[in-house]
A = this chain, B = another copy of it.
């Protein structure tokens, strides 16, 4: 698809056809594109947990949702659970601190105050966006959503994820279902270019 059409068509979709799995070659293309994201110092401090079997997906929903959330978001969860593929991009701060301690960078103290911008999260977010865009290019649908802070621990435990890795969210992927509901947040309206762009000075 033309790049600009991909950008215009991208939006979050929250219902999936449970009978149409994501073809393996498309799943792999999502991942091949993800690792082409830029990264500070070419650190590439990221990981991707790919969940496809019904058991693995159920383990994700169980571990990442508290009972109160599950009750409150029953409708949302019911539709999201139909997604045949989940990809959890994880950021890895230590990989960046270690990379910048190498001789060509020289930050051997690994001092976090050198990092007013957490590029481990930013770069992993860019990889996530490449997955979201590739999904559109392949004619599928996706949603990127966060994992509640109090569920990071249970999620890590459920999948043996090491402590230093942070799930920056989860991407549900599949063919669009018939019951998608757009986010109520969209009522806020998009902020236009002139509202957010400052030319020459603030």
The reply to whether the CB of A160 lies closer than 8 angstroms to some CB of chain B is yes
Q: How far is the CA of A75 from the CA of B32 in the complex (A)?
A: 34
Q: Choose one: B3, B38, B50, B134; the contact of A144 (CB below 8 Å).
A: B38
- List A21-71 residues whose CB lies under 8 Å from chain B: 28, 31-33, 35-38, 40-42, 44, 46-53, 56
Contact (Cβ within 8 A) A202 B126? no
If A117-B166, A149-B114 touch, whether A35 touches B201 (CB-CB below 8 Å) is no
B159 and A201 form a contact (CB under 8 A): yes
**What CA separation (Å) do A202 and B160 show in the bound complex?**
6
Number of interface residues of A (CB under 8 A): 80
Residues of B contacting A124 in the complex (Cβ-Cβ under 8 angstroms): 122
Selected contact of A115 from candidates B42, B149, B199, CB within 8 Å: B149
- Name the 10 nearest CB pairs between A and B, nearest first: A122-B125, A42-B185, A160-B202, A3-B137, A126-B129, A3-B6, A44-B191, A116-B149, A3-B3, A159-B201
Listed in ascending order, the chain A residues whose CB lies under 8 Å from chain B are 1-4, 6-8, 10, 12, 28, 31-33, 35-38, 40-42, 44, 46-53, 56, 91, 104, 113-119, 121-126, 128-130, 132-134, 137, 144, 146, 149, 152, 159-162, 166-169, 183-186, 188, 190-193, 196-202
